[in-house]
Every structure is written in C-alpha cells, then in structure tokens.
Amino acid sequence: MESSSFKFNPNAIDFVPNNFTGYSKKNSTEVDELSEETQKLIINQQISKWDDEPVEVGLGEASRQNERKSPSPINKSNGNELVKKIDGGDYRKNVPPDPDPRIHLNIVFIGHIDAGKSTTCGNILYQSGYVDERTIEKYEKEAIEKGRDSWFLAFIMDTNEEERAKGKTVEVGRATIETPNRRFTILDAPGHRSFVPNMIGGAAQADCGVLIISARKGEFETGFERGGQTREHALLARTLGVSQLIVAVNKMDDPSCNWSEERYTSICTKLKPYLKKCGYNENKDIHFVPISGLTGQNLIEHVSNKNYKNYNANASWYGLDKPSLMKLLDTIPPPERSADAPLRIPLIDGYKDNGIMCLGKVELGTVRSGQQCIIMPDRVKAKVANVYFEDEEFAYAKPGENIRLRLLGIEEDQVNKGCVICDITNLCPVSSKFMAQLAIIDLHPHRPIIAAGYSCILHVHTIFEEVEFLTLLESIDRKTKKRKDNPAFVKQDLMVTAILKLKNSVCLETFERCGPMARITLRDEGKTVAIGKITKIITD
C-alpha cells in the first residue's frame, strides 16, 4: 500500500443532500448535443467573484438525521489552552484549536446506474484499513442472503435496507478520509434517473467529481447513449460548479475487456468531445484513470506494481508513472475560495441540542465561535457558540467546509433548509423574482416551447422551489447567432434572458457576488430542461 493514510468513521450518520425525495419519478430522457452558447454559459458559470475576487465552491450540504447525535467537543492539551492570571494563580480554560490546515475537498462520485460508484467508494474505505474484516464478512454474508454477492462493498456506503435489497443507491452516502496532504468528504450519488434531484444535491456541494464509467461490454454504451445518465450527470456536475472531473473507467477486470488498452482508449476517445462540450477543458479539467472498484486495482495500489497482490500483466500499458485514483485526488488543483468575503452558509437542517445545532457548508467568508450572525430570510439574530467539523470542535471554519454550528438565542422553528447564515453587517438578498441567463437544454415533446407562464422546478443552493417564467427579454439562436428582443417563446438549444418568479421568497444571490447561491437548474417532469445563473435580483 502507498504511504497515504486514511481515516474513516463507518458509524457516521447517514448523509442525504437537500432531503430530495424525487418530486417526479417519471423517466427523464437524453441530453442533446450542446450549442456553443450553452458551452459558454456553462464555462462562465465557473467564474464567481466578490469585488473581482474569484470564488469557486460548491453549494450547500444537507443531512438526514434518523437519530440525532450531538458532536462531542474534543479537549486539546497541546498548547490550546488559554492561561489567565487570577489573584496570582493560573486559571486554565480550554479553547478550540485552529482547524486542520490541510486542504479539504468535497468529492462526488457520479455516473450511470450500476457503473460501480458505491462499490468503488466502499473499497477505497476498505483498502484504507478502517473498515475491519469482521464488518466486511458481515456485509458479504448479507449480500449473499440478498442474492447480491458482488455488492458487499457497496453496503459500506448504501446503508438503508431499500438500497441493499434493490442494489440501488437512493440517497447520497457520505464518508470522510484523509491523506497526509488532504482531507476528503466523499459523496456517493445515486445513478438512477428517478433520483437525479438527489444527485444534484450531492454535486452542488462538490469541488471535484469522479465520473464512474463501466468498461463492461454493453454497459458503457447503455450509460452514454441517449437516455443514459452519464451525459446528464456530467453536464449537471459542470453546471453546479464541479470544476475538476476524474473519469474513472471501472470494471476493467471484467472478462469482456480484461484490462484491454484498446477498450479503455476507445471509451476515453468517445467521452472527450462530450465533456468538452459540457465546458471542461480537456487539458486542465479532465483526468482519466482505469480502475476496478471490485478488486481494488488502481484505487490506492497501482495495478502495474509487480509487488501488488492484484498485479495484472495485462495492464502493463498503464505504467507506474501514471497515477492511481487516490494519487489523482491527492494532487488535483483545489478551487479558489474567498475567506474574506461576507459570510454565506446555506443551511440544510437544524435541531435542538444545548441550543440549536445547524448543518451547512461555508460558501463564502469565515465563521468563528463567539461570532454574532443573522439568519436570513427572517433576520433572526444568533450567536455562534461552537463550530464543529464532524465531531471535533474548532475555533473557526473557512469556505469549503461542511460544518455543524451550535447557535444560541434562537428557536428550532427559526432554522429551516434554505436559510442562510450571514454577517450582521452584510445580509443576503431575499426575493421571489429575479433575472437569469439560461440555456434551454432538453424540452419534453408535449411541452416543446417555453413562454410566459411556463412553470417547472428550480434547484438553487440547498433548496428547490416551483418557478414560473414571467417575461422573456432576449433570445439567441445558436445556428444564426441572431438575437431577438422580447421573443414570444423559446425552443430547445436557444439561450434566453428571462425574468422568473418563485412561488415563495427565498435567499438568493447574483452570480457575480456568490456563484454557489446563483447557479440554477430547471427540471420538469424528471428531466433537466435548462441551466443557468441569476444575474439580477428584483425586489419584491
């Protein structure tokens, strides 16, 4: 095993971004080829700024709490004590330490159903040595009893009975691992088209995506052809701010390919043009690696290492100078983040626990214990008593961290999914009306146009809301490049600037000020119909 060390809590509370339940389980269809204008919009969506400073982070985090557990503050004695002189004596008071200085990345595993996402995630954790043999034996026995012999590793991530019985990830599993250089939060997203809203919740939090592709004969073709989720997942990930994508070509050990370089190269060649159209830079943003999630080859240990127990001579074409999956994750460029910007933490849950415990992800700014803050949209004042990463307490948290905050001075019903914690001097806007730039991706045959009055579901940061098109201001035809003011309607593959209205007022930001709170996805009857960004917020 390589020198990287890992840390995993197999008893961590299950993690479900956004509590999405799939408002529509009708089948979605394929994502058509993207126009140049759509590509430009997606690329432009990756450039967030606050006063011209770049920001590139994911959206907020959400969690399902079947059993509420209070984080246990860990008292540090390595110099993290404040010594005060009182009447000539020492008064020692424990204070939280500074956070771990290592880079933290949120990694979402995406891809078509049965590509091997959960198995790959589970085996990374198992190979790290922090899922013991007894637990694995238990999962092997359970998998055999359910007639799912090869799925025992997936049970590490798929924790509920429905997922294990059907062999289908429904919610987004979560685990944390560490290397000497970095800390990772792993998000295992569902691949079935019925649970795309859940996948959106996972991708919205991510800094990097791992697109799992099955190399098994017929499976790659099914996932990548029209109707497969490979295309939609790749597009949504880029739209939601995932700036780096690792394409892990899985099941290379399958007899249908047996570590064939020809099969691997063929898959990579077919994927590159589409990923480029999604807005990824082929030379900077896309990384390919062949793996076997089941055997563990090329996850941590290199498949071409002759001292490795699963060494395969057929994989000698993938030389030792090329990285394993974890080596890639350990060296991939982190996103730029703005720790000095006004604080923005979209919340996904809140519950009583010696105050009110809130869960969310720091998108902008820095939050510190003892800090006064305002919770929008209701302008509720609160004090941050404690800042937790997992179960450890720290003095503060910067952008990119998934955290728990203990707040004082508020009630449980004043904290809901979609609320945003802000600085007391810089509040986020609240409105139901906004202007947006949108790329129309894929409309239903029975609803082939968008006009004033068209309604669908909008996904933005940690929430989704019903939205209606009020006015179409301008459209751009992708073929003729012709602009049209105040069009009566727009069709697929057009760009449009429009004014939209939500059913309820929510916390929003413009893309220029806070990209993670301005990236929007529009879905209708189980299909992604448009993607875009908020450019102007209109006061109610």
pLDDT in tens, 256-269: 999 999 999 999 99
Give the pLDDT confidence score for residue 147 in this predicted structure: 67
Give the pLDDT confidence score for residue 34 in this predicted structure: 56
Amino acid 237 reads A
Give the pLDDT confidence score for residue 38 in this predicted structure: 58
Per-residue pLDDT for 466 more than 70?
Answer: yes
Give the pLDDT confidence score for residue 79 in this predicted structure: 32
Amino acid 229 reads Q
Domain parsing of the chain, residue ranges:
103-331, 344-423, 429-538
Give the pLDDT confidence score for residue 23 in this predicted structure: 30
The count of other CB atoms within 10 Å of the CB of residue 226 is 9
Give the pLDDT confidence score for residue 162 in this predicted structure: 54
pLDDT in tens, 407-419: 999 999 999 989 9
Local structure of residue 171 (DSSP, 8 states): S
Give the pLDDT confidence score for residue 447 in this predicted structure: 95
Give the pLDDT confidence score for residue 171 in this predicted structure: 63
* 3-class secondary structure, 460: strand
What pLDDT band is residue 66 in, cutting at 50, 70 and 90?
A: very low
Per-residue pLDDT for 21 more than 70?
Answer: no
- Please compute the mean of the pLDDT values over residues 490-512 and round it to a whole number: 95
Mean pLDDT of the chain: 81
What pLDDT band is residue 432 in, cutting at 50, 70 and 90?
A: very high
Local structure of residue 441 (DSSP, 8 states): -
Residue at token pair 């009566």: 488
Most confident range (mean pLDDT) of 86-95, 194-203, 468-477 is 468-477
List the one residue out of 412, 417, 340 whose CA is nearest residue 382.
412
What pLDDT band is residue 160 in, cutting at 50, 70 and 90?
A: low
Per-residue pLDDT for 364 more than 70?
Answer: yes
- Please compute the mean of the pLDDT values over residues 167-183 and round it to a whole number: 76
Cα–Cα distance, 60 to 293 (Å, whole number): 28
What the block records as the tokens of 254 is: 């399958």
Can you list the alpha helix ranges (DSSP code H) found in 332-461?
Answer: none
Give the pLDDT confidence score for residue 52 in this predicted structure: 35
pLDDT in tens, 316-352: 999 999 999 999 999 999 888 889 999 999 998 899 9
List the one residue out of 36, 70, 2, 73 whose CA is nearest residue 307.
2
Identify the CATH assignment for 429-538 out of 3.40.50.150, 3.60.15.10, 2.102.10.10, 2.40.30.10: 2.40.30.10
Per-residue pLDDT for 381 more than 60?
Answer: yes
- Please compute the mean of the pLDDT values over residues 514-521 and round it to a whole number: 93
Cα–Cα distance, 514 to 529 (Å, whole number): 23
Per-residue pLDDT for 363 more than 70?
Answer: yes
Per-residue pLDDT for 383 more than 50?
Answer: yes
- Please compute the mean of the pLDDT values over residues 488-510 and round it to a whole number: 96
Least confident of 155-164, 227-236, 499-508: 155-164
What pLDDT band is residue 161 in, cutting at 50, 70 and 90?
A: low
Cα–Cα distance, 401 to 105 (Å, whole number): 8
Alpha carbon separation from 536 to 102, 342, 427, 429, 516 (Å, rounded): 36, 18, 16, 11, 15
* 3-class secondary structure, 423: strand
If you classify domain 103-331 with CATH, what class do you get?
alpha beta
Give the pLDDT confidence score for residue 44 in this predicted structure: 57
What pLDDT band is residue 16 in, cutting at 50, 70 and 90?
A: very low
Contact 351/412 with Cβ under 8 angstroms?
yes
What pLDDT band is residue 6 in, cutting at 50, 70 and 90?
A: very low
Check for a shared fold between 103-331 and 344-423: no
What pLDDT band is residue 193 in, cutting at 50, 70 and 90?
A: low
- Please compute the mean of the pLDDT values over residues 368-374 and round it to a whole number: 96
- Please compute the mean of the pLDDT values over residues 382-399 and round it to a whole number: 92
Cα–Cα distance, 293 to 250 (Å, whole number): 6
Give the pLDDT confidence score for residue 45 in this predicted structure: 55
Give the pLDDT confidence score for residue 247 in this predicted structure: 98
What pLDDT band is residue 5 in, cutting at 50, 70 and 90?
A: very low
Per-residue pLDDT for 134 more than 80?
Answer: yes
Contact 76/99 with Cβ under 8 angstroms?
no
Q: How far apart are the first and last CA of the chain?
A: 58
- Please compute the mean of the pLDDT values over residues 425-434 and round it to a whole number: 97
Least confident of 61-70, 289-298, 527-536: 61-70
Give the pLDDT confidence score for residue 57 in this predicted structure: 30
- Please compute the mean of the pLDDT values over residues 307-321 and round it to a whole number: 95
- Residue 533 has, within 13 A of its CA and on its CB side, a CA count of 22
**Please, is 22 exposed, middle or buried when counting C-beta atoms within 10 Å of its C-beta (0-12, 13-18, 19+)?**
middle
What pLDDT band is residue 43 in, cutting at 50, 70 and 90?
A: low
Can you list the alpha helix ranges (DSSP code H) found in 413-466?
Answer: none
Q: Which fold has domain 344-423?
A: Elongation Factor Tu (Ef-tu); domain 3 (2.40.30)
